[in-house]
Amino acid sequence: MHILWLVMGILGALWIFWDTRKQGYPWESSVRWAVGTFFVPAAVIPFYLFQSNVRSKYNNQPKRGKPQDVTSDMQVRCVHCGEFYQGNPERCPHCKTVLKDE
């Protein structure tokens, strides 16, 4: 029976990790969510679902009708250092290379 809980914890942690990365959470944040899920899935998963629901509602509103702004919530890989960053910053947060070409 314990092995089942362990498997559930691992699967839940992997899912949370993948989902937080997909939503553009920073690495440290994804790791914290995944670790929390692994140890207390019953507490963390409902809380995560609740806050990600709030978050997506908040994120979806200003995006309507402005398809060019969709990139601001996406994970983009820096062409210079290969690290992922969120949004559409002027400079890569990892290697500080200027990303905007206009």
Positions in the binding site for Zn ion (CB under 5 A): 78, 80-81, 92, 94-95
Q: Smallest distance, Å, CB 93 to Zn ion?
A: 8
Structure tokens at 44: 């963390």
CB-nearer residue toward Zn ion: 63 or 83: 83
CB-nearer residue toward Zn ion: 63 or 77: 77
CB-nearer residue toward Zn ion: 74 or 81: 81
Q: Smallest distance, Å, CB 85 to Zn ion?
A: 7
Q: How far is CA 43 from CA 33, 35, 59, 67, in A?
A: 11, 12, 24, 36
Residues 6+ apart with CB under 8 A from 75: 21, 22, 24, 84, 85, 86
Q: Smallest distance, Å, CB 25 to Zn ion?
A: 19
